[in-house]
Copies of this chain bind each other. A is one copy, B any other.
């Protein structure tokens, strides 16, 4: 009997958000029979085909993620201490710790011993461009200095089929297109077009892009509340067309790296499609494989 009640409670772990597990908990925390009844209803109401046991720390992780997404803690600000969160979620510090560990591994949070845990941000970062994998042959990132940015264009348009697919929106919906050139030591090196869904980026203009110092993703964060969290790139070798030749000051026989990036916010929601052309005669794209 007792064993069976254990079973029942245990199975509820992944239904009720928290505290439906037993472990070293006193039995009296389950003395409220009405609560038990409620859970039973919930269980019947959602007959998951695959129970898919989810450990407590994963549930905590989701809760923290929701707070991040809801803007409860702003980028670069500190989140509550592990102890505070443990009290808030009614779990042990170790469980909160494991949840935060994973979020830190995904670069959503940054831990600083003795100081606290902070919301990661594209601004105030040591590396100017977190997602840019292009490095100078010299290897001297500093000696090259910061990139010169030139906004060529910023206009509203309707999503073509491929853009709509990449951004998970409907074809014909309004999107923003930006074209710019990045130069290193005065040499035009990157030409990129990027497309943003119109709604979240309402009010973005070439002027605001030009006025903003720092990475574009930092502007997205501070001005539009959109945090890019992850990205995927497809890379090819291509030859430029005449317009691209003019913008990059190269001739038509110069092979270029074509880098198509889709950047995602929370919940794997795509929020940017970027198509870049990289000149690789003095730079290279670097990747590490584990």
Contact = CB atoms under 8 A, between A and B. Distances in A.
Interface of A: 106-107, 130-131, 133, 230-239, 253, 255-258, 261, 278, 280, 284-290
A255 B235 contact: no
A231 B107 contact: no
B285 A236 contact: yes
Contacts of A278: 237
Contacts of A257: 235-237, 257
Nearest to A228: B289
B237 A289 contact: no
A24 to B, nearest CB: 16
Contacts of A290: 106-107, 230
A253 B237 CA distance: 11
A261 B285 CA distance: 12
A107 B290 CA distance: 7
A136 B285 CA distance: 20
Contacts of A253: 239, 253
Contacts of A284: 234-236
19 contacts: A133-B287, A230-B290, A231-B289, A232-B288, A235-B257, A235-B285, A235-B286, A236-B280, A236-B284, A237-B237, A237-B255, A237-B257, A237-B258, A238-B255, A239-B253, A253-B253, A255-B256, A261-B289, A287-B287
Contacts of A107: 290
B255 A289 contact: no
A166 to B, nearest CB: 14
